Amino acid sequence: MQLTGKVALITGGASGIGRATSLLFAREGATVVIADLNAQAGQVVVNEIAQAGGRAFLESTDVSNANDCRRVVDSTLREFGKIDILFNNAGIIRRATVLDLSEEDWDRVMAVNVKSIFLLSREVIPHMQKTGGGSIINTASGWGLSGGAKAAVYCASKGAVVLLTKAMAVDHGPQNIRVNCICPGDTATGMLRSEAQQLGEANDRFLTEAAKRPLGRVGTPEEIARAALYLASDASSFVTGTALVVDGGGLAGSV
């Protein structure tokens, strides 16, 4: 098991990519702390991990709130004494042009997708420095590297995640803290289905369009989780500041 003895804090761990990563990290030997607003769904994941013989705990958390971020980190440290892996995975999407976005939509997407990374990293990094290092993984997107239609604030937020990741890698590499991000393509999660609803498109048609990439399908949460495992484990010990694209070739033909 690649993460034996490690403690991993995963935001948005109750569903989608976060859920798949929580289950995988636990199977690989990590103690998993799930930080999610959806306490009911999060407890289901905790129970799944426990039934499989792993260790997991839930902290109901609004990752855009500084007090909540401080509380979940303090609670984890009190219980386990360290945080080896921080997976800043929580995210939301609003499909709209800048003309159709409300200020509230802009602020909320930026708060959950970007500000949360700042807030949690600010709390976790001092403890990683004391314990000799760690791995921080941020969920960006293919749309953090290339623009997309009717996704202005989402693209802006994920582009910010990519460069925030690189800046943090430069700042904290000397303390043996590796900081990387994953740039998934369309993945079969509730978020992808919500995009179809926001755009007023039939779900089947939307998913068919999303699958138009070299591998001919959308990704699975488990496939993105395996990329997170790579970045969390010693297999990536010389990798920092990278934006790892996991998108079935969706960006391969982009300029």
Per-residue pLDDT tens over the stretch 141-198: 999 999 999 999 999 999 999 999 999 999 999 999 999 999 999 999 999 989 989 9
Alpha-carbon distance of 214 to 248, in angstroms, equals 6
CB-based contact 35:61 (threshold 8 Å): yes
193 or 33: which leads in pLDDT: 33
- 154 has catalytic annotation: yes
Rounded to whole angstroms, what are the CA distances from 29 to 49, 54, 88? 11, 7, 20
For residue range 124-137, list pLDDT tens digits in order: 999 999 999 999 99
CA geometry: angle at 9 spanning 189 and 128, to 5°?
140
Give the count of beta carbons closer than 10 Å to the beta carbon of residue 133. Answer: 15
CB-based contact 91:21 (threshold 8 Å): no
Residue-range domain boundaries for the chain: 7-184+220-244, 186-218
CB-based contact 185:142 (threshold 8 Å): yes
pLDDT above 90 (res 254): no
pLDDT above 70 (res 255): no
Across the chain, mean pLDDT equals 97
Dihedral angle, C-alpha 202, 99, 91, 117, nearest 10 °: 170
112-126 mean pLDDT: 98
CATH architecture, domain defined by 7-184+220-244:
3-Layer(aba) Sandwich (3.40)
pTM of the model: 0.97
pLDDT confidence of residue 39: 96
Q: How confident is the model at residue 219 (pLDDT cuts 50, 70, 90)?
A: very high
- Catalytic pick from 154, 186, 207, 248? 154
pLDDT confidence of residue 44: 98
For residue range 81-114, list pLDDT tens digits in order: 999 999 999 999 999 999 999 999 999 999 999 9
Alpha-carbon distance of 46 to 34, in angstroms, equals 8
